[in-house]
């Protein structure tokens, strides 16, 4: 697979569809790899005449790792910030946004329709703020602006994936990821057990980097709020959120939409914070509709 370079960081990516077609750049959630995107979403977008670019963030999958930095103690990081103590993290969401831009550069794409899930939504927002010319439309899914008056994420389900002792066999990691995915489902568009297990197995067997996931979360915590800054983004945008999201409050999706001058809110009844194949046609419909309102 091709690799983009952002400074000393190499980013593994995959390109689907015709290289001359308008592009969607998809940004996955924290700790996750490009293989986590359901094929039902990619196929729907390609079938509608788009190309789709997916990639591994720095620190996960087959991209450059920051293992020398060690895992981040998230509770300590939060405590230090609340106490006004200085903190240091290996990188921020701005660095991760520059990685995404490097992928576009390597593909020869001047701009793309950018859609991100959870952490990916935060990175997509940073792209819209810091690299607006590269974003044709913005879709922030199950994410937040990080404004301090909003409910913070409740990452208990996500942290399940970090509770496995180092050196445990792959099956323990797979089981932990399935448990986390199960806990993030809503009451509608629920992934099957087989679907969740297949996704977990694909992720663990391809590459396992739990410490990288803690560094992703640290980057999201130290990055400044984006609500006011998003008001400068003048292209079509939307926030997709689920009524049953137990990780990111629906209030966060509403604030994201309200912060974007051309933003709209898509609140999906019963949707949680997890992925499922049955949900992807719904997302695809909204992504394609928004892209249709954008002018390159």
Residue 53 maps to which CATH number?
3.40.50.1820
| 166 domain residue, yes or no | no
pTM of the model: 0.96
Phi-psi region of 38 (alpha: psi -120 to 50; beta: other; left: phi over 0): beta
| 84 domain residue, yes or no | yes
| 115 domain residue, yes or no | yes
At residue 256, the pLDDT reads 98
| 195 domain residue, yes or no | no
Say how far apart CA 96 and CA 76 lie, in whole Å. 23
Note the helical H segments in the chain. 39-47, 74-82, 93-107, 119-130, 156-159, 170-183, 193-206, 210-222, 250-259, 280-291
**What is the count of structural domains for the chain?**
1
| 190 domain residue, yes or no | no
| 187 domain residue, yes or no | no
At residue 102, the pLDDT reads 98
Residues of the chain with pLDDT under 50: none
Give the residue numbers spanning the domain of 48.
3-153+210-291
At residue 19, the pLDDT reads 94
């Amino acid at each position: 697979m091709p690799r983009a370079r952002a400074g000393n960081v190499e980013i593994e990516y995959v390109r689907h569809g015709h290289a001359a077609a308008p592009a969607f750049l998809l940004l996955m959630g924290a700790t996750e790899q490009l293989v986590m995107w359901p094929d039902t979403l990619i196929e729907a977008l390609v079938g509608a005449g788009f190309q789709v670019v997916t990639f591994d963030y720095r620190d996960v999958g087959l991209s450059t790792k920051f293992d020398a930095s060690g895992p981040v103690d998230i509770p300590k990081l939060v405590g230090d910030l609340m106490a006004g103590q200085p903190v240091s993290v290996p990188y921020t969401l701005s660095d991760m946004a520059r990685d995404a831009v490097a992928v576009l550069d390597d593909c020869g794409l001047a701009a793309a329709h950018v859609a991100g899930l959870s952490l990916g939504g935060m990175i997509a927002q940073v792209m819209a703020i810091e690299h607006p010319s590269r974003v044709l439309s913005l879709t922030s899914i199950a994410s937040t602006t990080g404004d301090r008056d909003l409910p913070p994420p409740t990452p208990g389900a996500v942290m399940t994936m970090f509770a496995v002792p180092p050196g445990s066999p792959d099956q323990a990691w797979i089981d932990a990821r399935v448990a986390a995915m199960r806990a993030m489902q809503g009451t509608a568009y629920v992934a099957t057990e087989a679907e969740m297990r297949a996704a977990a197995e694909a992720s663990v067997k391809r590459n396992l980097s739990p410490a990288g996931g803690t560094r992703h979360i640290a980057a999201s915590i130290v990055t400044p709020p984006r609500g006011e800054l998003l008001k400068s983004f003048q292209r079509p945008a939307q926030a997709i959120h689920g009524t049953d999201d137990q990780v990111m409050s629906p209030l966060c999706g509403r604030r994201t939409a309200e912060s974007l001058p051309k933003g709209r809110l898509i609140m999906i009844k019963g949707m949680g914070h997890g992925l499922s194949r049955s949900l992807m046609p719904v997302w695809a419909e909204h992504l394609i509709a928004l892209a249709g309102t954008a002018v390159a």
